[in-house]
């Protein structure tokens, strides 16, 4: 019981650590020390983007792992991990606006419209916002069944994130293939669990 009490803070710190490292790296950069390589802005953008998709996939995997591993307590971490996904996606957007576009507001709209990978990434962010804002119990009670319908957007968001990676990293598609496979495995599991009776009976009996 005591061990379970410490798991949630441990998971929280674990997911926060990458952000703390990059905050520290930015602090050093403003003080004349670079630990991010020859192109710090690009390194920050790629790193925050990678952590965004990792955490979004982790949140997506909670449901299948909960049933397949017979670990219902995993559900206790889904909201927190999902909110961390929104947090890292927001960091990724801020890095893009601050270090790559340098808050040139006149260029932001044009970039979103003219560059497909930015259009897709920004769309994923917009869709993710209502999920974060309605992830709390009060919103669940108020929305009723509509809450579950809204949160099914997470699959579309992950697909958009994979497309974003494919457009951004054209020299290597390994990351897109890896995360894309994980997303479609989670989506495939959900389809089988909902629409194939034998799979559903196996999960219930288990």
pLDDT tens per residue, range 133-183: 888 888 888 888 888 888 888 888 888 888 888 877 665 678 778 888 888
Maximal C-alpha separation, the chain: 61
CA distances from 30 to 22, 91, 93 (A): 12, 18, 20
53, exposed or middle or buried, with CB in 10 Å at 0-12, 13-18, 19+? Answer: buried
Query: In Å, how far from its chain's centre is CA 103?
Result: 24
Q: Over the stretch 29-56, which tens digit does the pLDDT of each residue have? A: 889 899 988 888 889 988 999 999 999 9
pLDDT in tens, 47-100: 999 999 999 999 999 988 888 888 888 888 889 999 999 999 999 999 988 887
| Contact (Cβ atoms closer than 8 angstroms) between residue 83 and residue 135 | yes
pLDDT of residue 3: 55
CB atoms within 10 A of CB 45: 19
Nearest-angstrom CA–CA distance, 197 and 201: 6
What local confidence, expressed as pLDDT, does residue 156 receive? 86
pLDDT above 80: residue 109: no
CB of 125 closer than 8 Å to CB of 164: no
Q: Averaged over 106-126, what is the pLDDT?
A: 81
**Residue that wins the pLDDT comparison between 87 and 6:** 87
Q: In the predicted model, is pLDDT for residue 206 greater than 50?
A: no
**Contact criterion met (CB below 8 Å) for 170 and 68:** no
């Amino acid at each position: 019981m005591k061990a379970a009490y410490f798991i949630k803070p441990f998971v929280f710190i674990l997911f926060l650590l990458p952000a703390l490292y990059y905050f520290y790296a930015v602090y050093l950069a403003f003080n004349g020390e670079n630990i991010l390589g020859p192109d710090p802005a690009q390194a920050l953008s790629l790193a925050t983007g990678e952590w965004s998709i990792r955490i979004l996939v982790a949140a997506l995997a909670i449901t299948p792992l909960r049933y397949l591993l017979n670990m219902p307590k995993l559900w206790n971490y889904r909201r927190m991990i999902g909110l961390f996904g929104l947090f890292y996606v927001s960091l990724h957007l801020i890095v893009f606006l601050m270090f790559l576009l340098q808050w040139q507001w006149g260029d932001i709209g044009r970039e979103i419209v003219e560059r497909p990978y930015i259009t897709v990434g920004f769309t994923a962010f917009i869709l993710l916002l209502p999920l974060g804002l309605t992830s709390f119990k009060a919103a669940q009670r108020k929305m009723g069944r509509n809450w579950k319908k809204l949160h099914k957007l997470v699959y579309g968001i992950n697909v958009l994130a994979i497309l974003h990676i494919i457009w951004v990293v054209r020299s290597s598609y390994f990351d897109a293939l890896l995360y894309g496979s994980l997303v479609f495995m989670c989506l495939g599991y959900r389809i089988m669990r909902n629409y194939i009776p034998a799979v559903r009976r196996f999960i219930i009996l288990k």
